[in-house]
Structure 1
């Protein structure tokens, strides 16, 4: 393991522990600010995520967005490959996918223009520490090569840190939404 990989592994371990405490103290209104942000993009195809482990829950905001346009969830097709996105509604029949995240039983793939991105840690410059598989980085790079694609990091406010071990392949977030408010990247 090289030095940066070891540093990232240690940062992930700390971030998981910090997020666990935040998750245990969370209330049901976690997605309120996310709903407000998405209301400004009604009808724009977007993808959320089905929360796993101690991730903040975007599902209420995703359910609201379904009334105005297509909403999907990520599907891991193969390790080392970009994600695909399958349409989702609150009534979609779901099955366990990779890493235990729920995915639609019947795939109906589309290309979102907004991605709500889970994370372990973030900084105000739009840096994001993920789980290490590179799925969102590969996906955002591919989508952004074709057209503007917005990446909204969704996390607990307590996941913010100034010390993120980032690489040139890490795709930046355009906006960060927490249960405590909205952070405009770079301001």
Structure 2
């Protein structure tokens, strides 16, 4: 996705990014399957707790990658929004487990004892090589990553179509950078790593 000056606001970039992502998803609806082949390129330690997400329409599908991670012995979790303006809660999840509807069109496991993820797979609308991502504007992932990283290193891996890359995502002081971005074309190590 390319745009020229003037610099885009987050609001305008979100509009453009949604369209770009939708077009990429239509061109390659099976792109998520290619992520499963990148499981060893993510640099995750054995048997980590990895939090993914349930894909919304047009998002890069993380499920094939999550199934590959589970096959490698990683424990999986999915996020749940439990408080508007709060951090995400992560609940254990096994592929095939029935999910409940959540806010914003999400799906999550039923209430269970939350677990603390050791790595996050993160959805996005746009990303840049510095590692910054444009999300939906709720700030859930930035607040959650900030909270998790106060306790220790937690790799954040964005999942996207290659077409979602932009030259520069507008940032605010509270934005948290990703370590890697996995696309259907491979893994991008960001400047934040």
Same fold (TM > 0.5): yes
The correspondence for 2:146, drawn from 125, 141, 144, is 141
1:11 aligns to what? 13
Matched, 1:177 2:178: no
Q: What is the rounded CA distance, in whole Å, between the counterparts of 1:70 and 1:37 in structure 2?
A: 18
For 1:129, the equivalent position in structure 2 comes to 134
Structure 2 gaps, min length 5: 1-7
Deviation of the 1:27 alpha carbon: 4.2
Distance 1:37 1:43 in 2: 15
Give distance in 1, aligned partners of 2:120 and 2:166.
Answer: 22
* Secondary structure, counterpart of 1:31 in structure 2: helix
Corresponding pairs, count = 182
TM-score between the two structures when normalised by the length of structure 2: 0.88
Runs ≥4 residues deviating over 6 A: none
Q: Does the CA contact (< 8 Å) of 2:36 and 2:66 recur in 1?
A: no
In 2, Cα distance between the equivalents of 1:34 and 1:153? 13
Q: Which position in structure 1 is the counterpart of 2:66?
A: 62
Q: How does 1:28-177 map to 2 (within 5 A)?
A: 28=30, 29-38=33-42, 40-67=44-71, 68-177=73-182
SS at match of 2:48: coil
Gaps of at least 5 residues in structure 1 are: 1-5
Is the CA contact 1:117–1:154 (under 8 Å) kept in the aligned structure 2? yes
